[in-house]
Amino acid sequence: MFISRLFLGICLLGTVSCEMRDELRNRMPGKTDVEAVGGFSLDLLSKETATRAENVVDQYTVQIVNTNGEVVREYDSYTQLQEAGSVIELPVGTYKVRSASYAGDEEEASINKPYYFSEKEFSVNAGEVTNLKDTCKLNSVVVNVNYDESFLSEVEDNYAVTFTNGTGVLTMNKDVNGVAYFRTAPSMLIAVRATTKNGTEVYKAQSMASKDGSSLKPEDKFEINLGIKDTIPANPGTPDNPNTPDNPDNPDDPNNPDNPDTPDVGGDSHFDITIDVTLNGKDVDITIPSPDQPTPDPDPTPNPDPDPTPDPGPSYAAPTIVGRGFNLGSTLTDPTTVQVDITAEAGIANLIVTIDSPILSDELLGAVGLEKTFDLANPGKNEEGLKSLGLLGNEPVAGKTSQLFDVSLFMGVLSELGDPGPHKFHLKVVDKKGREVSKTLSIQFSL
């Protein structure tokens, strides 16, 4: 009896094993002998601290992507993947599993919405199950703002603290606050605008970057401490006459000292916003490039006897600057796409841009590697900043017969910085024949 049961158990075990092998066997007609299917299982973890009763990764999205970048399996949550079975059947091949704390790509900027992410490659072999353990990590740069009591007591409630990583913009104020998360970028900017209790408007902007100049990385954390200080006393008074130190001007009457309850007031107070920045617990050095226009050296050997009748050469049309879909003579209001076509049949020698904006100060522009005036045909030290903002491509502008000046990426940043403008871009193109034309692009926002 015992032997019979043992024999029956062996048969059943063999049957289960064969069924699993059949499940992982290629079902293509004529190829049933070729095992081209395997299995995959995922044990997903996260470095995020759970704030819910359930496991925090239960709501993470999961995608399985093949070598062509095509999504072959997609689950709205890790829970949904688990409900589909402990083993996910896949054709033999190489894949990547992508897990994230929310669906879609990482947002450029968000409040209280961190992006935890992981991407891991794995292989599926015929007739085998690949067990993968993966951990999602924070993929964002963190920004936390602390307001000093001096700031909150000295300014009105209409203050605005704006951050940008060059593409995403986020503004905090009295009603919008929390921990901010940004996509990684080479550096970031902070701009603070406020009105003091005595009606003085104050503004300050500076860059936020790593101390060694390297690009920001996932999990980098900025701690921002905002304060405000009065740089000049309200009424400093008149200094004593240095020639008569023993006879000070207007001494106090000892029988009638100043009333401490009614201190002297007068003059204009001067306030300065203080922005203290630390990155991962270390102070950040703020370096703002200063405008420096190099002066070209003169030709050491000019021709003393130029040809009085030079060859006029071919004829070229004069340079032009034309707005694409709008008139440069008018002010654009709340635009999103702003493009200007520039032509120079003789070739562009200089394409000079001067930014004239009440909020794009030397300090703010310098933080992204730009001067207020730059030459797209000869970018020099502005080149990296121009490329990061999409104003300059990899192809040199000098010598080209046409160029598109596209400031569309600026529009979102300008509108969020809280100044209606006008914001002006003065354009001047000079061709190889020395002919030039100038136009002004003017932009206004209705805030």
pLDDT digits (tens, 9 = 90+) for 388-416: 777 888 889 999 999 999 888 778 777 77
What's the average model confidence in pLDDT over 409-436? Answer: 86
For the chain, give the percent of residues with pLDDT over 70.
Answer: 75
Quote the tokens at residue 157: 């409630």
**CATH number of domain containing 196:** 2.60.40
Could you read off the pLDDT of 111-149 as tens digits, one per residue?
A: 999 999 999 999 999 999 999 999 999 999 999 999 999
Which residue range forms the structural domain that includes residue 391? Answer: 320-444
Residue at 14 is within a domain? no
Helix (H) or strand (E) holding 204: strand 201-208
User: At residue 434, what are phi and psi to the nearest 5 degrees?
Assistant: 85, 0
| Whether residues 342 and 432 fall in one domain | yes
The pLDDT value given to residue 256: 46
| Whether residues 189 and 119 fall in one domain | no
| Whether residues 352 and 404 fall in one domain | yes
| Whether residues 355 and 397 fall in one domain | yes
| Whether residues 163 and 123 fall in one domain | no
User: At residue 47, what are phi and psi to the nearest 5 degrees?
Assistant: -85, -5
- For the whole model, what pTM was predicted? 0.58
Rounded to whole angstroms, what are the CA distances from 97 to 36, 42, 51, 119, 219? 20, 9, 25, 6, 21
Residue 168 in this model has a pLDDT that exceeds 50: yes
Could you read off the pLDDT of 63-105 as tens digits, one per residue?
A: 999 999 999 999 999 999 999 988 999 999 999 999 999 999 9
The pLDDT value given to residue 260: 40
Q: How far apart are CA 9 and CA 387, in angstroms?
A: 71
Q: How far apart are CA 386 and CA 403, in angstroms?
A: 14
| Whether residues 196 and 328 fall in one domain | no
Q: How far apart are CA 412 and CA 443, in angstroms?
A: 12
Helix (H) or strand (E) holding 444: strand 436-444
| Whether residues 118 and 154 fall in one domain | no
Helix (H) or strand (E) holding 5: helix 2-23
Give the number of other Cβ atoms within 10 Å of residue 61's Cβ: 19
The pLDDT value given to residue 6: 34
Stretch among 121-130, 158-167, 269-278, 324-333 having the lowest mean pLDDT:
269-278
End position of a domain, from candidates 225, 256, 283: 283
For the chain, give the percent of residues with pLDDT over 90.
Answer: 42
At residue 164 the predicted structure's pLDDT band, cuts being 50, 70 and 90, is confident
The pLDDT value given to residue 200: 85
